[in-house]
Amino acid sequence: MMNTFIGHSIDLMKAFSKDCDNCFNMKYSGYDFVTHKDNHSIFPLTDKDSGEIGDIQRLEDHALIQKTKPYLEDSVKAVEHINKAGSIEVYALGSMLLKLARQNGVKLLTEEVVELDRTASSQFKLSFETGASLETTDLLLASGPFIQQHAKSLGYDLPIYNIKQRKFVFKDTKQIIPRDMPFTIYADSQYLQWNPDEEKLMNEYEEYHWLLEEFPA
Ligand SMILES: Cc1cc2nc3c(=O)[nH]c(=O)nc-3n(C[C@H](O)[C@H](O)[C@H](O)COP(=O)(O)OP(=O)(O)OC[C@H]3O[C@@H](n4cnc5c(N)ncnc54)[C@H](O)[C@@H]3O)c2cc1C
């Protein structure tokens, strides 16, 4: 279901991009999932067969992987490439949509919601940091990482949780990564590599034990 939903969003963006002369720089560079394991089917066959995930190409020919993706390690065994993926400029898309919404009569109000309640007269009441409030019968909650917190105050428990992720940025001094490389995801679970001193330290303190455990793909 999620794939159908996302696929539909991509189709809408594609049509919009065509209408505005690719004003938000939509690129189909694809996503690559790579594995070091033999016979590791990254996406289950049933998904591929039903076309749920979209067009996926599996590459196992070592020489071909090295020729087309020379930036990958020699020991990579397979790459699964998702065609219907890539990148967009989110601010350009957002500004464009906002402009269109305004042209169609949308009034923009920028406020921080500090409280969400249900009321008898209308369905929802939003209280803002400034002390002002707004009542409405329709509410579209799109508060990203705070959505669960907001939904709970309205009596909903959504099956959503947040995962803290780290982002590392470093200079590609050897210029290994080409500018058009697809977004590449390592699909194998793994253990982090520590030096013996670090490993000893982590073994000594229980709160660090998790760093020695297997990490998911
Ligand atoms: C560093 C980084 C890189 C990412 N890269 C990618 C990528 O390459 N591809 C990809 O598909 N996804 C990527 N993501 C994930 C993607 O950005 C999110 O999945 C997406 O932005 C979620 O959209 P959203 O509209 O649900 O929430 P958000 O974009 O988080 O929007 C929520 C909005 O609600 C507002 N808000 C929250 N609480 C309140 C409140 N109390 N009152 C008023 N306003 C409030 C926030 O200010 C925010 O504007 C990345 C995320 C990060 C952090």
Tokens encoding 86: 């890539």
Residue nearest to atom 6 of ligand 1 (CA): 87
Query: How far away, in angstroms, is 204 Cα from ligand 1 center?
Result: 38
Residue with tokens 């109000």: 109
Find the angle CA(135)-CA(140)-CA(145) to the nearest 5 degrees.
Answer: 115
Looking at residue 51, what is its pLDDT? 47
57 DSSP β-pair partners: 81
Query: How far away, in angstroms, is 154 Cα from ligand 1 center?
Result: 21
Among 126, 143, 163, 169, the mutation site with the greatest number of ligand 1 atoms within 8 A of its Cβ is: 143
Q: What is the pLDDT of residues 17-46, one digit of tens each?
A: 999 999 999 998 899 999 999 888 888 655
pLDDT of residue 165 exceeding 70 = yes
Looking at residue 55, what is its pLDDT? 78
3-state secondary structure of 125: strand
pLDDT of residue 3 exceeding 80 = no
Looking at residue 53, what is its pLDDT? 52
Residue nearest to atom 37 of ligand 1 (CA): 143
Task: Please provide the size of the chain in residues.
Answer: 217
Q: What is the pLDDT of residues 131-160, one digit of tens each?
A: 999 999 999 999 999 999 999 999 999 999
Q: pLDDT tier at 164 (50, 70, 90 boundaries)?
A: confident
> Identity (one letter) of the amino acid at 170?
F
Looking at residue 45, what is its pLDDT? 57
Residue with tokens 């020919």: 61
pLDDT of residue 48 exceeding 80 = no
Looking at residue 136, what is its pLDDT? 93
Find the angle CA(156)-CA(160)-CA(161) to the nearest 5 degrees.
Answer: 125
Domain range annotation of the chain: 109-155
Number of alpha carbons in the 13 Å side-chain half-sphere of residue 101: 10
Percentage of residues in the chain having pLDDT higher than 90: 75
Tokens encoding 12: 């809408």
